[in-house]
């Protein structure tokens, strides 16, 4: 295994714990032993693919959060109100 493969394997192993994979495996009806999970996570192609997937999910989440903030800013500007003042009005 070369240095790049070890890098991706370490990234995935740090981000996804054996316990989480065991739980997911149980949920899909395919229980795995800790050794099988280690082999699954340490597959160099799978490790890089999972890392890329996690990064894309993170980017999508951040983009959606920023889009929500942008719409909130537009709403506050166009109405002359803030989301906080509206929340207080309805919480009373």
Q: Where are the alpha helices (DSSP H) in the chain?
A: 3-15, 18-27, 34-42, 44-79, 83-91
Nearest CA-CA partner of 40 in 27, 50, 52: 50
Alpha-carbon distance values, 65 to 48, 54, 81 (Å): 26, 17, 20
Domain extent at residue 84: 3-91
Domains identified in the chain, total number: 1
Contact between residue 50 and residue 65 where contact means Cβ atoms under 8 Å apart: no
Q: For residue range 30-85, what is the model confidence (pLDDT) as tens digits?
A: 999 988 988 887 787 777 888 888 889 989 988 998 888 877 777 677 777 665 55
pLDDT of 4 reads 74
pTM over 0.75: no
């Amino acid at each position: 295994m070369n240095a790049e493969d070890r890098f991706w394997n370490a990234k995935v192993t740090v981000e996804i714990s054996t316990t989480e994979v065991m739980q997911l495996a149980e949920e899909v009806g395919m229980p795995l032993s800790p050794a099988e999970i280690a082999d699954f996570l340490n597959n160099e192609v799978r490790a890089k693919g999972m890392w890329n997937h996690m990064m894309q999910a993170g980017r999508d989440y951040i983009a959606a959060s920023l889009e929500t903030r942008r719409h909130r800013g537009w709403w506050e500007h166009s109405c002359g109100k803030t989301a906080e003042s509206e929340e207080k009005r309805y919480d009373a």
